[in-house]
Amino acid sequence: MDVIRVAPEVLAAMREHAGRAYPEECCGVLVGRAREDGVRDVVRIVPVENTRPDERRRRYLIGPDTVRDAEAEAARAGLDVVGFYHSHPDHPAEPSEFDRSHAWPWYDYLIVPVAADAAGEPRAWRLDDDRAAFRETHLEPGRDAAVPTGEPGTGDTEHAGRTGKRAERAEHDGSTTGTETPTGEHEARTKEADA
């Protein structure tokens, strides 16, 4: 089973972001290290604004510039964008068919269930290479976290080159630009999903 390690303070920051955004979906970037044995260590998150123009209660959009900026900042720190997170307002922390059909393999997707009174415990998922189904990723407490401060879009990010994966996902999405995202109505490097 694949493992993703996330420090308790990072999980708390995700839940807080989900509560703030309720009843709309929140979204953000997971930054850390990807080990060869399949373990991912998330050391920080980058909360970003849901820029979806409609259906924000069921979908989210991370704009292309935001994803590119997160990747570049992470690369400068020797880390990687290892996935994305979003909330499911008034729904369980399970990926929808829309999530599956628009996700990229390799990345982890943390989903935070949230209701009017509180955010629940996130669950983690990774899409199979054939894109047929998500597998739940074992979520463990991590350490060495650095939680950004401030509003969405102002957090620190870190990244370690995933150039090969970027090329693979561009081919997968039928583009020659290498800038598509794991989900949504594919504009250049856009990340979007649905509850």
Active site positions, annotated: 25
Q: Which of 13, 25, 22, 71 is nearest to 193 (CA)?
A: 25
Q: Which residues pair with 49 in a beta bridge?
A: none
Distances (CA, A) of 157 to 29, 39, 82: 8, 19, 11
Residue 1 CB contacts under 8 Å (≥ 6 apart), including other chains:
135, 137, 138
Identify residue 122 by its one-letter amino acid code. P
| First-last CA distance in the chain | 24
* Long-range pairs, 51-55, Cβ under 8 A, ≥24: 52/25, 52/192, 55/194
Peptide bond into 105 cis (omega under 30): no
Identify residue 184 by its one-letter amino acid code. G
SS3 101: helix
- The pair of structure tokens assigned to 149 is 């401060």
Asked whether the beta carbons of 80 and 9 are under 8 A apart, the reply is no
